[in-house]
Amino acid sequence: MKAVITVVGKDTVGVIAKVSAVCAELNINVEDVTQSIMQDMFCMIMLVNLSRCTQDMDAVRARFAAIADEMGMELHITREEVFDAMHHI
Amino acid sequence: MSMINTSDILETIGMITSENLDVRTVTMGISLLDCADPDPKKACEKIYNKITEKAARLVPVVEKISTDYGIPIINKRISVTPIAMLLASAPTADPVEYAKALDRAAKAVGVNFIGGFGALVHKGFSAGDERLIASIPQALAETDIVCSSVNIGSTKTGINMDAVKLMGGVVRKAAEITADNQCMGAAKLVVFCNAPEDNPFMAGAFHGVGEPDCVVHVGVSGPGAVRAALAKLPKDAPLDEVAELVKRTAFKITRMGQLVGNLAAKELGVPFGIVDLSLAPTPAVGDSVANILEEMGLESCGCCGTTAALALLNDAVKKGGVMASNHVGGLSGAFIPVSEDDGMIKAARCGSLCLEKLEAMTAVCSVGIDMVVLPGDTPAEVISALIADEAAIGMVNTKTTAVRVIPAIGRKAGEELDFGGLLGYAPIMPISTYSPSVFINRGGRIPAPLQALKN
């Protein structure tokens, strides 16, 4: 059960650290990370594995929403299957 | 990053977050044929029990899919067998009681709308049909989330003009008795020609007799995503490129619907019916079919060129969507409901979009004269004649057409009605005041058209 976490917003210190810390806290394994700056916007994409996550998705979303608010950035968690369906024939 | 390209990831996230891409509805179709009973009380009990049993888990399952996958899913709905079929065996029944049973059951399972308080009368009335039709205004006034549709014509049978005559009056009365509530009754009533039996969209959804006992359909949306994709094309890009881009975007949108449909069907243990790959607008800024046409290069929706642009859009949406889903059905095309589309509302307000242009547009897109607010003094015969015109377009072109108009009782041109939510708001549009009354009062049937010698 894999998902993609995207974080978009004004670049601040410690974005990857904060998102990774929540992943560790919820026992979510980070498999890959990529980041870039596009038009002054920081954009981080993290591929994670939720198989051993200790919380249900409602709790996971609430936890990540809290740090997104804290950082003032937009954070989205989307299951890998959505991208597979939309972008692979 | 793994198998997925980062730009694809960002494209999808952008479509969902800033372009209003969503799955508009997951609609469960439920057959009520086994709920017929000569005793109306028993019939209503059976209806309530069957719906609440079959759809018990619909809302939580769909909400869980939305949370787990990160896909916005806006509506959960139910469509049922046209209720007139159940009335046939209960000659003394009050159809309004059946509508109330539907309303109670739908509220109990927490869906947004339930459709199917209707009749199929394209060739004539059978037992129960006329009683149901006569009860529609009252049923829609006394319920909250019940929707009604009546099919009055088809390419194979022609148009039942007796039913057309009746429906003009029914639409008007539905508005009259809900005049204190923005004439809402008429906004929940559709008159169809060639009605699809697996349509997941309201107000026209019903569960056709050829469908399985219980099934799940999905309706996608996404005009905002199509418009945003087109905005990136240079203004001198030829229309082949426009069509190609619409196809690509429609493919992606539909795949998301197909994914949700598969997941929902599996989790609910019922067959997956169809994906309706319609572009369904909302009153939200940017989520507009009219804006797509304007993005193609029209100053304002309704100007000359609108029909051609819409024809291109509708066809490209189908071509892109068909390959993305193993079963496509429902209405599948571009919707042009005036009050539900920010760009249409603006075009109607500024006068670039008129009723006659809308009628022309319905010849090349998936529905008909939809969510149009008419002057409050529009006579029933005029509404009937508008229904007949739309039905003729559908009948001759072998496509679905429909009429959902709301006579704004007590109001005149220049005023507006505001339905709230996804139903939106719209100015009153002028309609020809010359009388078609002799034509409408003839009744009878318009014969089915030739399917050859087409010119």
Task: Write out the H or E segment, with its range, that includes residue B425.
Answer: strand B425-427
Residue A85 in contact with residue B256, Cβ under 8 Å?
Answer: yes
A76 in contact with chain B, both atoms CB, cutoff 8 A: yes
H-helix segments, B110-206: 129-142, 161-176, 184-187
Q: Structure tokens of B299?
A: 């100053």
Smallest Cβ distance to A86: which of B68, B70, B252?
A: B252
B429: tokens are 């549009």
Give the per-residue pLDDT at B53: 98
Same domain, B166 and B263: no
Asked if residue B353 is part of any domain, the answer here is yes
Nearest CA distance, B256 vs chain A (angstrom): 6
Contact by Cβ (8 Å): B272, B325: no
Kindly list the residues of chain B whose beta carbon comes within 8 Å of any beta carbon in chain A: 1-6, 8-13, 16-17, 64, 67-71, 252, 255-256, 258-259
Last residue of some domain: B193, B208, B228? B193
Q: Report residue B107 as tokens.
A: 């509220």
The shortest C-alpha distance from A15 to chain B (Å) reads 18
Check whether residue B173 and residue B292 sit in a common domain.
no
Contacts of B6 in chain A (CB under 8 A): 34, 36, 45
Cβ neighbours of B147 (radius 10 Å): 27
Res B3: pLDDT: 58
Long-range contacts of B283-286 (CB under 8 A, 24+ apart): B283/B339, B283/B340, B283/B341, B283/B342, B283/B345, B283/B422, B283/B424, B283/B425, B284/B20, B284/B224, B284/B342, B285/B342, B286/B19, B286/B20, B286/B224, B286/B227, B286/B228, B286/B342
pLDDT of residue A75: 95
Q: What is the pLDDT along chain A (89 residues), one digit of tens a residue?
A: 899 999 999 888 889 999 999 999 999 999 999 988 877 788 999 999 999 999 999 999 999 999 999 999 999 999 999 999 999 88
Domain that holds residue B295: 218-445
CA distance B191 to B166: 11
Whether residues B114 and B38 share a domain: the answer is yes
Chain B residue closest in CA terms to A45 = B6
On whether both B120 and B172 belong to a single domain, the answer is: yes
Q: For chain A, what is the domain count? A: 1
Question: 10-residue block means of pLDDT along chain B (455 residues)?
Answer: 75 87 95 97 98 98 95 95 96 97 98 98 96 98 98 98 98 98 97 96 95 96 91 96 95 93 96 93 90 97 98 95 91 93 96 96 92 97 98 96 97 91 93 97 96 81
Per DSSP, the three-state class of B46 is helix
Please tell me whether residues B287 and B397 are part of one structural domain.
yes
The answer to whether residues B202 and B77 touch, using CB atoms and an 8 Å cutoff, is yes
**C-alpha to C-alpha distance for B90 and B92, rounded to whole angstroms:** 6
State the pLDDT at residue B261.
Answer: 95
Residues from chain B contacting residue A82 (CB–CB below 8 Å): 12, 69-71, 256, 259
- Scanning the structure block, which residue is given the tokens 């159940």? B86
The predicted pLDDT at position B414 comes to 83
Q: What is the ipTM of this complex?
A: 0.88
Greatest Cα pair distance in chain B: 70
Cβ-based neighbours of B223, under 8 Å, separated by 6 or more: B20, B279, B280, B281, B287, B288, B289, B291, B292, B334, B341
d(CA B408, CA B405): 9
The answer as to whether B103 is a domain residue is yes
CB < 8 Å to B8, chain A: 83, 86-87
Q: How far is B141 from chain A (nearest CA, A)?
A: 38
In a domain, B205, yes or no: no
Query: How far apart, in whole angstroms, are the C-alpha atoms of residue B188 and residue B146?
Result: 7
Residue B451 domain-assigned (yes or no):
no
Indicate if B184 and B264 belong to the same structural domain: no
Note whether B68 contacts A79, CB cutoff 8 Å: yes
C-alpha span between B112 and B75 (Å, rounded): 6
What CATH number should be reported for the domain holding residue B180? 3.20.70.20
Return the CATH number at A62: 3.30.70.260
What is the DSSP pairing of strand A41-49 with strand A29-38? Answer: antiparallel
DSSP character for B451?
A: S
Using alpha carbons only, what angle is made at residue B222 by residues B220 and B223, rounded to the nearest 5 degrees? 130
Same domain, B354 and B398: yes
Of residues B332, B407, B393, B333, the one with CA closest to residue B359: B393
Rounded to a whole number of angstroms, the distance from the CA of B9 to the nearest CA of chain A is 7
Length of chain A: 89
For residue B274, the surrounding DSSP H or E stretch is strand B272-276
Task: With CB atoms and an 8 Å threshold, state whether A83 touches B69.
Answer: no
| Residue B94 belongs to some domain of the structure | yes
Q: What angle do CA A86, B1, B7 make, to 5 degrees?
A: 50
Cβ(B66)–Cβ(B117) below 8 Å: no
d(CA B76, CA B200): 10
N-term to C-term CA, chain A: 20
Is B69 in contact with A6 (Cβ distance < 8 A)? no
Number of domains in chain B: 2
Domain of residue A44, residue span: 2-87
Instruction: Please tell me which of the candidates B3, B6, B255 has its beta carbon nearest to residue A86.
Output: B255
Residue B213's SS3 state is: coil
Mutate which of B3, B5, B12, B258 to disrupt the A interface (most A C-beta within 10 Å)? B12
Same domain, B356 and B314: yes
B26-59 in b/e form (b: 16+ CB < 10 A) is: bbbbbbbeebbbeebeebbebbbebbeebbeebb
Q: Are residues B74 and B113 in the same domain?
A: yes
Amino acid in position B432: S
Q: What angle do CA B347, B351, B354 make, to 5 degrees?
A: 85
B29 in helix, strand or coil?
Answer: strand
Q: Which residues contact B415 (CB under 8 A, 6 or more apart)?
A: B408, B427, B428
Q: Please, which residues have CB within 8 angstroms of residue B400's CB and are 6 or more apart in sequence?
A: B192, B193, B194, B195, B196, B331, B366, B367, B368, B394
Number of Cβ within 10 Å of residue B91's Cβ equals 11
Contacts of B40 (CB under 8 A, 6+ apart): B90, B92, B93, B94, B97, B98
Closest-CA residue to B281 (of B14, B3, B19): B19
- Residue B450 maps to a domain: no
Cβ separation B69–A86 shorter than 8 A = no
Beta bridge partners of B28: B78, B216
Please give the Cα distance from B198 to B206 (Å, whole number): 7
B340 with B385, same domain? yes
Nearest CB to B259; choose among A58, A61, A81: A81
**Cα–Cα nearest to B63, from B111, B19, B108, B130:** B111
